[in-house]
Chain A
Amino acid sequence: MPFERIVVAIDGSECSDRAFDKAVELAKLTGATLTALAVEGPLPAYAATLGEVDEVKREKDLFFGALAAAARARAEQEGVAVEVAVQPGHAAELIVRLARDRAADLIVLGHRGHFVRDHLLGSTADRVAGHADCPVMIVR
């Protein structure tokens, strides 16, 4: 399938690393543009002070800044240009929204497989698959 715009979600986990490698491979094969989205996760909801929000944001910025740099370096090794977006918020919602905004024709994301949480709340992969406007590739 000739993909033109691929969105891949990254979070620093092993399964997201595998998903990113697969997305880079697909982008290289098809010549698609690649956008990686690193979702920082929500900030503390209903905070009482700015300090609480700032502190969490700073920690997340540090971690995800390094993650974005590593993703760029890995894609560059394969000769693929990647745009990395780092955003705070809810993962499934942001992935679907970014894919829609960029008119992506494929979303790639990893699946960690957490038995209890997945059965109780549903996984991010399930939610993205349920709401995305384009095909979703889930990498295990």
Chain B
Amino acid sequence: MSGLAVAAILAGAILLAGTVSVEVGLSVAIVELAAGFVVGNAFDLTAPDWLTFIGTFAGVVLAFLAGAEVDTPQLRREWRASFSIGAVSFAAPFVVVGLLAYYGLGWNHRQAEIAGIALSTTSLAVVYAVLVETGLNQTLIGKRLMSATFVTDLGTVVALTVLFIEPGVWIIPFTLVSIGVVYVLPKLAPWFFSRYGDRVTEPEIKLVFAVLFLLMWLAGRAHSHAVLPAFILGLVMSDHYARHHKEQERMRVVAFAFLTPFFFFKGGMSISASALWANLGILALLFVGKMVPKLAGVYPLARRYCAPHGTFTTLLMSTGLTFGTISALYGLNAGIIDRTQFSLLVAVVVLSAIVPTAIAQRFFQPTPTQIEQEVRT
């Protein structure tokens, strides 16, 4: 099949996924993953190089956007209370899944690390949507939970960036440039954006993309991943975006319209239905490997810091989606994991977005009266 034919099929499927997501009330990411899965397996398509390239860049843009969406004043206020929950939420599944993959499934240590990272994540967006729906986002518990999710995500991106670095000279420029842009861009942005921004040519988006491409190139040379500097860069830019909401909106438009669909589609296309079917037992094992340490590790802390909603918040901390997919896709693109391992990891990530959320909302959701009382106090 020609490159343009593949592009036409993908573009049509992405359009369909976008409309279906609106009609059924599911996030577009989940529908795009599912559409990629169906198209990839039905047409037996392998992702072309350009799709892998755009998908990889989109993953870094998603990390930047995730950092930029953090409410930093709230994070500063709740950092201490949230740190223990967030750190345990990352460390417990990372260690347990890593050991399970290494000793139980016979994966090599790099594959086990990818598994541990991909299944250690907590989805900030899934948590946020549930908190907004319940009204808990206005309470202290909701704010703590959001900050804890940030800490978990930080653990994930640090591990993904640091663990796979190969000793060599390229570590130095990667580190120095990362620190440099994190320091300089927030200072440069107000001047640059006021002088060149607010135009249809979008110089401010081009500036961010140029920096992200630079980080990706240097990270690639250092055999690492640019998600950590991208995430931190987004974080240090979050105050600026909070004051200039339109700039952030335009960035999201570009990302959601063109970049992230290819990221999730590529993720879905790379999942092998036959590999999943042949390994249902391992799928279940990995799912349990993620959920049990998350629940067991977070629950005692959630009871302490998030009472009376300990179970509800623990279940929400067990969700995962974007960073889990980014981690697994990095492993696949870098040749660390194979397609079967990728399929299993992404399937567990998607299950972990759906199952704990559904259980939390069905059985443990706080009543509106409880929330109203907590908002008042």
With A41-B25, A51-B252, A57-B132 as known contacts, state yes or no: A46 contacts B354, CB within 8 Å. yes
Q: Beyond the given A44-B21, A46-B30, please list 10 additional residue pairs across the A-B interface where CB-CB is below 8 A.
A: A46-B357, A47-B29, A48-B28, A49-B66, A49-B125, A51-B65, A51-B252, A53-B125, A89-B134, A101-B369
Judge whether A139 is part of the interface by a CB distance below 8 angstroms. Answer: no
Residue of B27, B353, B354, B367 touching A52 (CB-CB under 8 A): B27
With a CB–CB cut-off of 8 A, which chain B residues contact A50? 66, 69, 124-125, 128
Residue pair A46, B69 in contact (C-beta under 8 Å): no
Residue pair B27, A89 in contact (C-beta under 8 Å): no
Residue pair A48, B26 in contact (C-beta under 8 Å): no
Least Cβ–Cβ distance between A134 and chain B, in angstroms: 17
With a CB–CB cut-off of 8 A, which chain B residues contact A41? 25
The closest CB in chain A to the CB of B28 belongs to A52
Residue pair B135, A87 in contact (C-beta under 8 Å): yes
Q: Count of B residues near A, CB < 8 Å?
A: 36
Residue pair B368, A97 in contact (C-beta under 8 Å): yes
Interface of A is mostly: mixed
Judge whether B129 is part of the interface by a CB distance below 8 angstroms. Answer: yes
Residue of B29, B248, B249, B369 touching A48 (CB-CB under 8 A): B29
Beta-carbon contacts under 8 Å, A47-72 to B = 47-53, 55, 57
Beta-carbon contacts under 8 Å, A74-97 to B = 87-89, 94, 97
Residue pair A45, B69 in contact (C-beta under 8 Å): no
With A44-B27, A97-B367 as known contacts, state yes or no: A51 contacts B69, CB within 8 Å. yes
Judge whether B214 is part of the interface by a CB distance below 8 angstroms. Answer: no
With a CB–CB cut-off of 8 A, which chain B residues contact A47? 27, 29, 125-126, 128-129, 321
With a CB–CB cut-off of 8 A, which chain B residues contact A137? none
Residue pair B21, A49 in contact (C-beta under 8 Å): no
CA A115 – CA B220 in complex, angstroms? Answer: 56
Residue pair B357, A52 in contact (C-beta under 8 Å): no
Least Cβ–Cβ distance between B130 and chain A, in angstroms: 8
Residue pair B65, A49 in contact (C-beta under 8 Å): yes
With A97-B367, A98-B368 as known contacts, state yes or no: A44 contacts B322, CB within 8 Å. no
Judge whether B62 is part of the interface by a CB distance below 8 angstroms. Answer: yes
Residue pair B65, A44 in contact (C-beta under 8 Å): no
Least Cβ–Cβ distance between B27 and chain A, in angstroms: 4
The closest CB in chain A to the CB of B370 belongs to A101
Judge whether B164 is part of the interface by a CB distance below 8 angstroms. Answer: no
Residue pair B129, A49 in contact (C-beta under 8 Å): no
Residue of B28, B134, B249 touching A44 (CB-CB under 8 A): B28
Least Cβ–Cβ distance between A121 and chain B, in angstroms: 12
